[in-house]
Structure 1
């Protein structure tokens, strides 16, 4: 079962935003539309309620609603990997079990944020989560948001002791660290980049793909990078890597998904609404985002959403 998942869950896994209506309520209809557009544009998988999906702005009940709506929208067309992690251990167990009930392809479980657990505590947390279900688990390491780095030796021990821990999303700018993940966990361990500028380099060292927020805006081009790589067209893959850089840069000039949601409004795909304490970017940054978007999208042909 887990070996099959390792073969299946690869490529550009699009981390879809959680759309809100103007009044701040969930917009599940737009969520389904975004998922459908991504799949039809070539994305190889779908994820929700990861960092890009603003899980800390959602209630537990809303996170379940988003998973259910996304599962229905995906409808088995590509792998579905929702984020089920939380800073709270019991919440993580609950959400991961809910994901299993839904029949997801894997659950992505973030390193707990704010409480800064030790490596020993992280091992106990992830092992308990993995032992509570029999679905594949992809750990999500994002030290810039959690203030804690899951060390390679801890991840390697988890991968050996828990057969359903099949991979990791590394939003880690330490490229030496991510190289050592495959050395210590094995070359068949799924390594996904969560850093946009490392998507292409991660493939070069044996990574399984990437989970890039930029796929929300130009899913076809983001997926094409992986397709070119797997087809052996390294020159084209490198070209796409550099073509994507201006958009990748501007989408992270403020905390994700603030610029991303502003951009989605500009291309008419979703309301640019976030829940406080998150908010849309300053007007100066919105103007910069619009200027960069013109390199990728014909904004004159789009109906912007305000």
Structure 2
């Protein structure tokens, strides 16, 4: 049940072929780019992973392939976003069998559960597994907020609930969490456009999106701010912001996948009903990406700054 909840953990994209099958070779290229940049974990099956479109067998294949390829360098986590407690418990069991070292969990999907129901849902899944758990708190997109009182009940009852992916869009919540729980609950920011601010006021890490196209720049921001080299981190972050804003759009999957084509670490194929970008929208996003790449900064040496 050991997990170090810090650093950059990419919510990786799922790679598909033009025939809508898993592209495991491109998936490995994508994961290798993340490892080479120095990420601290890999999160499978999130929104960017198009989890809701994957079959159970595809999720198992991705978990096993990622675990095998990563080979213990960093922990591999599986996201749980299910409609029923029974299905969530089963997915946690399967993820553990397939080698995942941790779970990220959303509240129940589709049904707007009460606070009591959400707490009981998390408790049931946590008590079914020994894997450490990070709760994904994103009331903006998923309409259910996990409050501090709910977290209090959860972490008192379930020692494997250890972290929160903080995506409320309210950075003051980071200070509230720290004031209430100290180090009992690790915080990983989940909003790219608030990442540096969140890290500077106490977030322990960053579950990132644009890392899927620009892993080195993402990890550099984290490592530089951690080492106190704030000015350098800010300079990279300001360059990055037009790209980071692609993460806070309903079409974030298509936008980020297109960016990864430009950096040669991913393809843009998505699973229907999503469609590859077309027309004016494609031109608009392409311009944002190309403009950023044209002035892409030269990064300082950012690895091993804190050893």
> What is the aligned partner in structure 1 of residue 216 from structure 2?
220
**Matched residues in 2 for 1:36 and 1:269: separation?**
9
1:4-23 matches, within 5 Å, as: 5=3, 8-23=4-19
**Matched residues in 2 for 1:218 and 1:59: separation?**
28
Query: 1:37-61: per-residue Cα shift (whole Å, max 9, x none)?
Result: 1100222221110111011111122
> What is the aligned partner in structure 2 of residue 162 from structure 1?
158
Query: 1:90-145: per-residue Cα shift (whole Å, max 9, x none)?
Result: 22111111222233221111122211111100100001111001111111112233
The range that moved more, 68-77 or 100-109, is 100-109
> What is the aligned partner in structure 2 of residue 289 from structure 1?
285
Answer yes or no: is 1:183 the counterpart of 2:182: no
> What is the aligned partner in structure 1 of residue 267 from structure 2?
271
Q: Can you give the 5+ residue segments of structure 2 that lack an aligned partner in the other structure?
A: 296-307
Q: Give the CA RMSD over aligned residues.
A: 1.9
Query: 1:248-291: per-residue Cα shift (whole Å, max 9, x none)?
Result: 11344442212112222344333312122222234222222222
CA contact (8 A) 1:152 1:177 kept: no
> Secondary structure of 2:256's partner?
helix
CA contact (8 A) 1:221 1:240 kept: yes
CA contact (8 A) 2:43 2:76 kept: yes
Q: CA deviation at 1:33?
A: 1.4
> What is the aligned partner in structure 1 of residue 76 from structure 2?
80
Equivalent of 2:190, from 190, 194, 218? 194
> What is the aligned partner in structure 2 of residue 207 from structure 1?
203
**Matched residues in 2 for 1:119 and 1:137: separation?**
19
> Secondary structure of 1:67's partner?
helix
> What is the aligned partner in structure 2 of residue 132 from structure 1?
128
* Superposition misfits of 4+ residues, deviation over 6 angstroms: none
Equivalent of 2:21, from 16, 22, 25? 25
Q: CA deviation at 1:227?
A: 0.5
Answer yes or no: is 1:243 the counterpart of 2:239: yes
> What is the aligned partner in structure 2 of residue 302 from structure 1?
none
Scaled by the length of structure 1, what TM-score is found? 0.90
> What is the aligned partner in structure 1 of residue 115 from structure 2?
119
